[in-house]
Amino acid sequence: MKQTGSENVKYATPDQKQYLAVLCKKNGIDAEAKKQLVSAASEGRAESSDDLYLKEAQSLIKQLVEKTTGELPITAEERMRSKIISVAHQLRWKLPDGRADIERLNNWCIKYGAGVTLNQANAEQLRKMVTAIENILKQQLNQI
């Protein structure tokens, strides 16, 4: 929090500023264009992400994520699904072409997870599945 005059203002966090830099790079936005984006986000008040307010940075990040992916930012459920697929890769539950074996993963989810496929699982079911599959990985690593 920085003091501006008599009011306390929350500025963008270091993580937000770093994420903005990554998103600008992914979108091919150079330093001059980034200054213009920051200026627009702050209604002309700032040219550097260091001077963005927290909410301005959040808004700019959302816009850049949508531009990058064409979608809204990833949800907690999507992150957990990605984590489960990542661990499945580490467990070598893969197809010959290197992609995750989703059929095997879904069968595991139904049998040992929550009785539903990966994409059908809600947040609570996904939390339990993440814990369960991470425990399988830990057991395999302990056997080595």
Do the beta carbons of residue 67 and residue 27 sit within 8 Å? yes
pLDDT of residue 1: 47
pTM of the model: 0.51
Q: Kindly give the residue spans of alpha helices, DSSP state H, lying in the chain.
A: 14-26, 31-41, 54-69, 76-90, 102-108, 123-143
For 122-135, letters b (16+ CB in 10 Å) and e give eeebbeebbebbee
Predicted confidence band at 7 (pLDDT cuts at 50, 70, 90)?
low
The DSSP symbol for 118 reads G
Predicted confidence band at 66 (pLDDT cuts at 50, 70, 90)?
confident
Segment 125-136 shows an average pLDDT of 93
Check whether 5 has a pLDDT greater than 70. no
Average pLDDT value for the chain:
86
Amino acid at 29: I
